[in-house]
Chain A
Amino acid sequence: MESLIRAIDLRPMNGWSTVLRDVNIDIPPGKIVGLIGPNGSGKTTLLKSLVGFNKSVGNLSVLNQDPRLVGSNLFNDVFFIPDSSSLPSWMKINELFSYLSGVHKNFDLEKATLLLDSSNLDARVDIGKLSKGMAAQLYLVIATAVDSRLLILDEPTLGLDLLFRKKVYRKLLQDYPNSDRSVLISTHEIVEIEEFLTDVIFLNNGEILLSSSMEALAKDFLELKVDSEQLGLAQALPSVSSRACPGGRQILYRNIDRAELEKFGEVKQACLSDIFLSLIAGGNKQ
């Protein structure tokens, strides 16, 4: 299966300094990939480099084209709007839709209008007058109405309330798994998006800490809840992180046999946020 995005040793250059270090990414069709990292980790820089907005060196292929060479034609099949604050503030929503329906051959005006009607947005309002949450809603309406092969979203739910975020993700991402299309989403909100992701990439200080499918992650990372009696034996095994919890400690292991861990206490699948925090903490210590 051909990759929608393939980057090998990609090093986006920002002036004289290197922001990212030898990034390798491979995203095949039918995936919903979460790009997760703390502030300043280089997520937006990476996304901009993937669509050719930032200068970069290394091999890069998006839909079998090099975005640095192909120019604006790439955006017929790739949807990428950096974030909701980049929407033009002077435009009215209906003017924006009119523009998009003219320039974007995959923009479905009817769908966008229906989605807008189902939200609390007024099409005659200036985008600049929308609250942060409303601008995020509009951003997601546009993203949903564009039928692109590759959807790249940068913090799409920033400013949205918790109730709306899950609803949005469900609506936005329902068509993508098992299709010939893929989504790459950068976000901080790991808990809400976790159930929708098929793959995840952790980024810290411009470096990919982890790139894995959610299935592999569930097998590789296990969390052991251990009481003080077994703690010594459990700590003797190579662990990723350890933290105190009521009645003992919770220890995160990577690539340890489940049966072996079960000898010491209760074993469960590690949640994404715990894995992320452990790896980030480990990365920062180094």
Chain B
Amino acid sequence: MNYFLSSRIASLFRREFFENKTIVILGPLFLVMVSLIVIIFTALFVDRVGTFFGGRLVGEFLQGLDASMVEVEGGLEIKFSDTEGGAISIESFEAKEALGTLDDISNTKAIDIDVDVDDNLVEGSFKLNEILYYLHKLIMLVPLLISINYLLGCLLYDRLDGSYFFWRSMPVSPKEEIIVKLMVALFAIPLIFGFASFLIQILSLLIFIFPIYRIGLDPISVILENLDISNWVWFLILDWLDRGVMLAPIFSFAVLISSLAKRSGFFTSVFAILTLGFLEGVLFGSNNFIDGALLYLPWPISADVRIVDSPTSLVAGLIIACFFLVMAIYFRSRPLFFNN
């Protein structure tokens, strides 16, 4: 029985893959290729292309990496001993040669510097982690849009093409069907695109070896000194889980819209959002619906919210998601519209 259930769920996932294989296979490939072209272009023109960090040029950013390395070569040694509570304490500061004029600094003088690490997964000293972090966030906007588009059509297209009753005549409940579709959008599509993003980031590092080398630095040292690999991989995993859970209410709303739409999921969702926002504004004078929804969207649409930072939002989001899903399951069994 359990074997059959798992086989059935696997088949439902396979069915989603069959239906969306163009997006699932060609989408990431296309993304990698486009990103590759952009990265090569950026690497070739490092002194003309700007970064996202304060409008600096990529070339200047690479020089910044260079400066970090010189400090290391000069004998600067920093030991991170305590990161609890967001405070990093520097216990050892041996830099006599590098800081020759500062004779009064003791070899073992402890300097406490508070560094706010709550809002960042990456530590300030690992500049490549920071740039890869934002690169990943930007890349992951693509699967976000793809997932929303997929969900807006997932319960609509079979009513449009006449196959609704075929799917209904299978021993698969609307609940199973909808949960699998939601899981595909929340976890499977981001996972596939997450791997694509990972590949793009590795390719970026490999391609940027060339401009780093050209400005007279040792590329391998620069990458190793500026990239915390475990932090980088851990961030990718956490970001995948974060968006999978935090996007649940938004995606469940898209599923509900798909179960209700007559012809276009997109226009129905725009209409529903504007109507609900307008009604709330007129009746209560507030704008909590749209503001609240935006909270669950990832950077750069809203501030970077993680599940560990906002348990209240998480619980509220999951309750709202369940409510939307129950409604979607109801309307899947009893559709309002058939179009053929």
Contacts and interface: CB of A to CB of B under 8 A. Distances in A.
Interface of A: 48, 51, 53, 71-76, 79-82, 85-92, 95, 98-105
Interface in B3-31: 4, 7-8, 10-12, 14-15, 18-19
B163 A87 contact: yes
A104 B165 contact: no
A42 B108 CA distance: 92
B173 A99 contact: no
Nearest to A78: B169
* B contacts with A: majority SS: helix
Interface residues of B, number: 26
A103 B18 CA distance: 15
B162 A75 contact: no
Contacts of B165: 48, 53, 81-82, 86
Nearest to A152: B169
A168 to B, nearest CB: 19
Contact of B166 (A51, A82, A104): A82
A89 B161 CA distance: 8
A239 to B, nearest CB: 42
Nearest to B1: A105
Contact of B18 (A85, A87, A99): A99
Contacts of B173: 71-73
Contacts of B170: 72, 75, 100, 103-104
Given A86-B162, A105-B4, A91 B171 contact: no
A74 B168 CA distance: 11
B172 interface: yes
A104 B168 CA distance: 13
A89 B162 CA distance: 9
B161 A88 contact: yes
Given A90-B18, A103-B12, A104-B170, 13 more contacts: A48-B165, A76-B171, A80-B169, A87-B163, A89-B163, A92-B18, A98-B11, A98-B14, A99-B11, A102-B12, A103-B8, A103-B11, A103-B171
B158 interface: yes
A103 B19 CA distance: 16
B25 to A, nearest CB: 14
Contacts of B167: 88
* Complex A-B, nearest 3 residue pairs according to Cβ-Cβ distance, in ascending order: A102-B11, A75-B171, A88-B163
Interface string B15-58: 10011000000000000000000000000000000000000000
